[in-house]
Structure 1
Amino acid sequence: MSTAPLNDRLAGYQPLVLGAFRIVLGILFTSEGVATLFGVLGREASPAGDWPFWYAGVIELVCGVLVLLGVATRSAAFISSGIMAFAYFTEHQKDGLFPLQNGGLSPALFCWGFLLLVFFGPGALSVAGPVRRSRPAAENARLTGPAA
């Protein structure tokens, strides 16, 4: 049995767990977009051009796939977090203060989950990961900032 503190033993798994979190979040968000646009998974399709639902479905589909793949993760997560905050405050907040009260649990969780990805990045298992690793170290530092 290792005598290293639990935090030290788990730290090596952080990129993998963050990557798994990103993949699951991307799948769930993509399924929201697919359901909204195509009327599957027990939901009725939103008519093309219907504000704001059809546009939200397009953003959910496109950003969900980008997050799922780990491509432009921070940008897609930023847009996704914003649209979920918009959905919460325009569609749910009027029905009560708390997410369990107003039916806004999903938008609230999506908003904060995507905000986490904005700050922590894609983690492991991203399509963009091998591209970043194949660049020279100086170029990676220029593009991603100094290593912590």
Structure 2
Amino acid sequence: MFPARLHGPVLSLFRMVTGVLFLCHGAASLFGILGGNPMTGHALPFAEWPGWWAALIQLVCGGLVLIGLLTRPAALLASGSMAYAYFVVHQPDHLLPLHNGGELAALFCWSFLLVAVLGPGNWALDVLLSRRRGVATEPAARPSVPA
């Protein structure tokens, strides 16, 4: 349906948007900006477990995924942190995300898992650095579409 030449750029845009949204959540919770922590409206106390550490992961991994640097490991860590958030914070209240407030955690978890598996797309520092080192990079995975 869409030309194959769009797969890498669209994956890159998906990665960048997901990264910036995750970064914003971390910045809000760590620094009290952009409305602050969604639960309190303020910055989280320094080193408070698990919220402050989760926000640090959001800030750092969101930034790395946004620029496409260390994309796969950062996306995998971000995905795992959101799986933890879903199963520890949200799922005990109710099974379904719609009823337990875990929609964002579930969406971020699966979005970052997709980026970890498919890679950063064409527009990423990882790709640029690998080209400079002369390392062959894997092309962005192309899903097979039934005819």
User: C-alpha root-mean-square deviation of aligned residues, in Å?
Assistant: 1.8
The TM-score normalised by the length of structure 2 is: 0.86
Match of 1:86 in 2: 84
Q: Which has the larger radius of gyration?
A: 1
| Contact 2:121/2:140 (<8 A) preserved | no
Query: What is the CA-CA distance between 1:40 and the residue it aligns to?
Result: 1.6
> Identity over the aligned pairs, expressed in percent?
51
Q: Are 1:22 and 2:24 counterparts?
A: no
1:72 paired with 2:70, answer yes
How far 1:128 moved relative to its partner? 2.3
The alpha carbon displacement at 1:79 in A equals 0.3
In the alignment, is residue 31 of structure 1 matched against residue 29 of structure 2? no
Aligned to 1:134: 132
Q: State the 1:12 CA deviation.
A: 1.3
Q: Return 5+ residue gaps in structure 1 as ranges.
A: 1-5
Q: What is the rounded CA distance, in whole Å, between the counterparts of 2:61 and 2:89 in structure 1?
A: 21
* TM superposition score normalised by structure 1: 0.86
1:122 aligns with 120
Structure 1 stretches of 4+ with a deviation exceeding 2 A read 144-148
Q: How many pairs were matched up?
A: 136
Q: Report the Cα offset of residue 10 of structure 1.
A: 2.1
Q: Is the 8 A contact 2:9 2:122 kept in 1?
A: yes
State whether residues 8 and 140 of structure 2, in contact with CA within 8 Å, keep that contact through their aligned partners in structure 1. Answer: no
How far apart, in 2, do the equivalents of 1:80 and 1:147 lie?
Answer: 20
